[in-house]
């Protein structure tokens, strides 16, 4: 039973390019969460999705960032026109349906470097 799979592990983008980060939840998990970890900062919640629905995006920057979790395929976190300040580790987590009593399982993260 594979865990939460994130790819790529490392991503380098030039300023102004687009970054696409992918997350496949654990088998049987229908809830996906994205977190960002800036250097020397704690992990910050970005967005919570279920299949085809964004449930809570209160942690997402208002511009350039978007997320989706389509009916088929992985969840995608998309960052348009990246800037140096977007350099961070982006982690995806998943949990089963009816999440209140369950913990989260995290992926290994995607480390984005903007040059």
Partner 1 sequence: KQEVTQIPAALSVPEGENLVLNCSFTDSAIYNLQWFRQDPGKGLTSLLLIQSSQREQTSGRLNASLDKSSGRSTLYIAASQPGDSATYLCAVRRRSGGGADGLTFGKGTHLIIQP
Alpha carbon distance, N-terminus to C-terminus of the chain: 36
CB under 8 A: which stretch of 12-20, 22-30, 68-76, 98-106 binds partner 1? 98-106
Minimum Å distance from CB 56 to partner 1?
Answer: 5
Min separation Cβ 61 and partner 1, Å: 15
The structure tokens 């809830």 sit at 31
Asked if 31 touches partner 1 (CB under 8 A), the answer is yes
Report how far residue 96's alpha carbon sits from residue 28's, in angstroms, rounded to the nearest whole number.
6
Pairing between β-strand 29-37 and β-strand 88-96 as defined by DSSP bridges: antiparallel
**By the rule CB under 8 A, 42 interacts with partner 1:** yes
Among 9, 43, 38, 13, which Cα is nearest to 23's? 9
Considering the complex, what minimum distance in angstroms separates the CB of residue 110 from partner 1?
10
Question: Per-residue string for binding with partner 1, 45-84, x by CB under 8 A?
Answer: x--x------xx-xx-------------------------
Say whether residue 1 binds partner 1 (CB under 8 A). no
CA distances from 23 to 44, 70, 77 (A): 17, 11, 8
């Amino acid at each position: 039973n594979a865990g939460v799979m994130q790819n790529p592990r490392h991503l380098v983008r030039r300023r102004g390019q687009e970054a696409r980060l992918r997350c496949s939840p654990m088998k049987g998990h229908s809830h996906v969460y994205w977190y960002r970890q800036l250097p020397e900062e704690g992990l910050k919640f970005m967005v919570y999705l279920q299949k085809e629905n964004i449930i809570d995006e209160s942690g997402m920057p208002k511009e350039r960032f978007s997320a989706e979790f389509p009916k088929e395929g992985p969840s995608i976190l998309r960052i348009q026109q990246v800037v140096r300040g977007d350099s961070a580790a982006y982690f995806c987590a998943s949990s089963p349906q009816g999440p209140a009593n369950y913990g989260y399982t995290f992926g290994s993260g995607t480390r984005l470097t903007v040059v």
